[in-house]
Amino acid sequence: MRTALALASLLLVSGCGATVAQDTSSANTPVTVTNCGQQVTFDKVPSKVVTNDTGITELMFALGLKDRMAGYVVDGADTADRRTSPWKADFDSAKHLSDKISKEVVQGANADFVFAGWNYGFSESSGFTPDALKQLGIATYQLTEACRNGVGKQRGIMPALDALYTDLRNLGKIFRVEAKAEELISGYQQQIDNAARLMTGKPQPKVFLYDSGQDQPFTSGRNAAPQDIISKAGGDNIFGDLNDSWTTVNWETVVQRNPDVILIVDYADGDFNTPEQKQAFLEGFAPLQNSPAIKNKRFYALPYAALVESPRNPASIEAFAKFLTSV
């Protein structure tokens, strides 16, 4: 059975636990960045940052900005994503504020800056929005992967890796660590270029990203991180034509598109979300039985934090490319 967990591969990320020198001479000079299509000005370097979700928090850690954080919000103080994080030491020493973000949590932390995203913390239904925080005097930065694109609540305004690089550069500017941001980006680009060579001249397998859902599958369109993880590794996302990030589709279309490989999101929470449970469901799902992925048991699993925008994305591409060379 060719099912694999790529946790070990994802530990090979540089910059773990780094402390980065900041340009304090301009700490109180306003800077302006473009975030989700809007010009946003920050009057000074934030010093009490609250982050929401694992990947977002890891962006701060990768830039060496743990000392600028009041704490982070992640569902569960001891998750598999945290335990396998290249920045585990930073998670362990930073403050876990809550399982769920709210105005009360960020006010209790005396936050002056919140880094989250739509469906990654920000939500109209909960009342936790950038506008609501602005009224409390708290600045916000929105994860670019989750930016709304102007079509209802669809998300994604640029390719996934461009979103990662955009956020690193913007955060570098806001926190005066631009040199560190460029160093990370250069390293990631080289890692991705090296991974791409592994599949040079080989057929491009069709890949179905399976997050969850039995009645209807939840998957990735072209604007979420799996799009670039799949394509840069040498595969073809069967839902890469959808102008959305994470979204629900139907099984009929999955069957029609006949995947060669199934990439599973590993939440590691035991609630019908382990890769083994998801694989067992897919192998027993009658309409998919004739697909090459099911016939040949071509399953691969990556952690949740590696499949949303995060500094784990380049290592994920490398790990998945190595798997695809055996397909």
- Torsion angles phi and psi, residue 312, rounded to 5: -85, -10
**pLDDT exceeds 90 at position 199:** yes
Strands 218-220, 139-142: pairing is unpaired
Which residues, in sequence order, are bridge partners of residue 139? 113
Task: Confirm whether pTM is higher than 0.95.
Answer: no
pLDDT tens-place string over residues 90-140: 999 999 999 999 999 999 999 999 999 999 999 999 999 999 999 999 999
Architecture (CATH level 2) of domain 199-324:
3-Layer(aba) Sandwich (3.40)
pLDDT at 77: 72
Task: Say how many C-beta atoms besides its own lie within 10 A of residue 152's C-beta.
Answer: 8
Question: How is 266-310 classified by DSSP, letter by letter?
Answer: E--SSSS-SHHHHHHHHHT-GGGTTSHHHHTTBEEEEEHHHHSSS
pLDDT at 270: 59
Q: Which CATH superfamily is domain 15-192 in?
A: Nitrogenase molybdenum iron protein domain (3.40.50.1980)
> Is the separation of the CB atoms in 109 and 48 below 8 Å?
yes
Question: How is 11-22 classified by DSSP, letter by letter?
Answer: G--S-TT-----
C-alpha dihedral (168, 68, 177, 54), degrees to nearest 10:
-20
Task: Say how many C-beta atoms besides its own lie within 10 A of residue 212's C-beta.
Answer: 17
pLDDT tens-place string over residues 7-53: 434 434 444 555 555 566 667 899 999 999 999 999 999 999 999 99
Cα separation, 130 vs 132, in Å, equals 5
Question: Same CATH fold, 199-324 and 15-192?
Answer: yes
Instruction: Provide mean pLDDT across the span 281-303.
Output: 97
Instruction: Provide mean pLDDT across the span 68-83.
Output: 88
How is the chain split into domains, by residue range? 15-192, 199-324
pLDDT at 273: 75
**pLDDT exceeds 60 at position 286:** yes
pLDDT at 15: 47
